[in-house]
Amino acid sequence: MGGPLAGLRVVELAGLAPAPFGCMVLADLGASVVRVDRVSGGAAVPGDVLGRGRRSIGLDLRRPEGADLLLRLVERSDVLVEGFRPGVVERLGVGPARCLARNPRLVYGRMTGWGQDGPLAGRAGHDIDYVAVAGALEPIGRAGAPPTVPLNLVGDFGGGGLLLAVGVLAALYERERSGRGQVVDAGMVDGAALLTTFLHGMKAAGAWPGGRGANLLDGGAPFYDVYEAADGRYVAVGALEDGFYAELLAVLGLAGPDLPDRRDPAGWPELRRRIAAAVATRTRDEWAALAEGTDACLAPVLTPEEAAGHAHNAARGTFVEVGGVTQPAPAPRFDRTPAGTPTAPPSVGQHTAEVLAELGLAGPEVEELRRAGVVG
């Protein structure tokens, strides 16, 4: 598989969601990623496609022989990524100090929820807990209702795996000048908080005066919201600027001196009622067709399955089929070094013999390690 990261060698200690997503991004862009799975492991999440583009080796890191094999792999790699609680890899004998002693140029990426230190560092948690403490969950939702859970996109993937990948790439860039590796501490609370930077600025400027669901970008403004169409499906409206709003009104057939001024929040309830009544007269796809070719900023709300077949996404190849599963294609795009189509996620230990051969271990040695349960 091609891509701008071709030649970059990454070792990934198998885990759940955030770190695998970060490594998927690196693999999508051309890095050679070897995932270290547990010898007796299996797919942690049914149907998980985050492991695409990898090779897999089964190692028992609780055994000294397994830890030593990982260190030998580290010696010839650029990056190691792990997603365990603080202290776990140190107890296994493959923590940053030991790995960097074997390879001073190694970038050691650490993915956790709370970060490597702080009062909560050793506590269990999940995406919802991290985005809650980051201040990213409370603003999301309707007025008068509890916060809406934004799937696990904000903590696990946006503030977690994606920021981990950015941190790894930044450390690699710095290594070009210093010749030295370093540890990247990627905490999901930190990353989710970073995603709210714009919101903090709007609040400081007085441009976010209301509570949840009562502001410009949280569904409070009637011209930036979701409406139900005649068929029970939905359209998204995002006509923030005056010109776009005028085109929206033209598409919806709304006009007249009695239409509330959109700049006055006091008129927003009536304006919302008028937009909702208009949208309810046609189906979702009828509205999408009417808005086509305009700047009305009206779009159909598609299911994940429908998104792959949308004309724009199909034209750009936004989705690909890998191993019989339709899924998002690698992004972003590069004109000189485009990424190829990812390979399907490997089975646990599928490439053990191949990877160990690259470390100089002959067939009989590998078989002996298999019989001893060190590799799988």
Q: What is the DSSP string of 228-282?
A: E-TTS-EEEEE--SHHHHHHHHHHHT--STTSPPTT-GGGHHHHHHHHHHHHTTS
Whether the CB-CB separation of 5 and 338 falls below 8 Å is answered with no
**What is the residue-level pLDDT of the chain in tens, covering all 376 positions?**
689 999 999 999 999 999 999 999 999 999 999 999 999 766 556 678 999 999 999 999 999 999 999 999 999 999 999 999 999 999 999 999 999 999 999 999 999 999 999 999 999 999 999 999 999 999 999 999 999 999 999 999 999 999 999 999 999 999 999 999 999 999 999 999 999 999 999 999 999 999 999 999 999 999 999 999 999 999 999 999 999 999 999 999 998 889 999 999 999 999 999 999 999 999 999 999 999 999 999 999 999 999 999 999 999 999 999 999 999 999 999 999 999 999 999 999 999 999 999 999 998 999 999 999 999 9
SS3 string, 92-114, reads HCCCHHHHHHHCCCCEEEEEECC
| Total residues found in the chain within this entry | 376
**What is the per-residue pLDDT for 42?**
62
CA 44 to chain centroid, in Å, comes to 18
**What is the per-residue pLDDT for 45?**
65
Whether 156 sits among the annotated catalytic residues: the reply is yes
Whether 37 sits among the annotated catalytic residues: the reply is no
Residue 82 parent element (H or E): strand 79-82
Residue partners of 252: CB distance under 8 A and separation at least 6: 275, 278, 279
Whether the CB-CB separation of 38 and 16 falls below 8 Å is answered with no
CATH superfamily ID and name for 9-195+319-372: Crotonobetainyl-coa:carnitine coa-transferase; domain 1 (3.40.50.10540)
User: DSSP class of residue 223?
Assistant: T
Q: Where are the domains of the chain?
A: 9-195+319-372, 224-303
Record the tokens describing residue 77, joined without a space. Answer: 């790699």
Location of structure tokens 């040695």: 365
> Hey, which residues does 326 pair with through a beta bridge?
321
**What is the per-residue pLDDT for 44?**
57
Distance CA 161, CA 20 (A): 7
Burial 27-56 (b: 16+ CB within 10 A, else e): bbbbbbbbbbbbbeeeeeeeeebbbbbbbb
CATH number attached to the domain at 224-303: 3.30.1540.10
Q: Is 151 helix (H, G, I), strand (E, B) or coil?
A: coil
**What is the per-residue pLDDT for 140?**
98
> Closest by alpha carbon to 70, among 14, 20, 32?
14
Pick the catalytic residue: 37, 156, 185, 225?
Answer: 156
**What is the per-residue pLDDT for 221?**
97
Pick the catalytic residue: 68, 126, 295, 310?
Answer: 126
State pTM to two decimals.
0.95
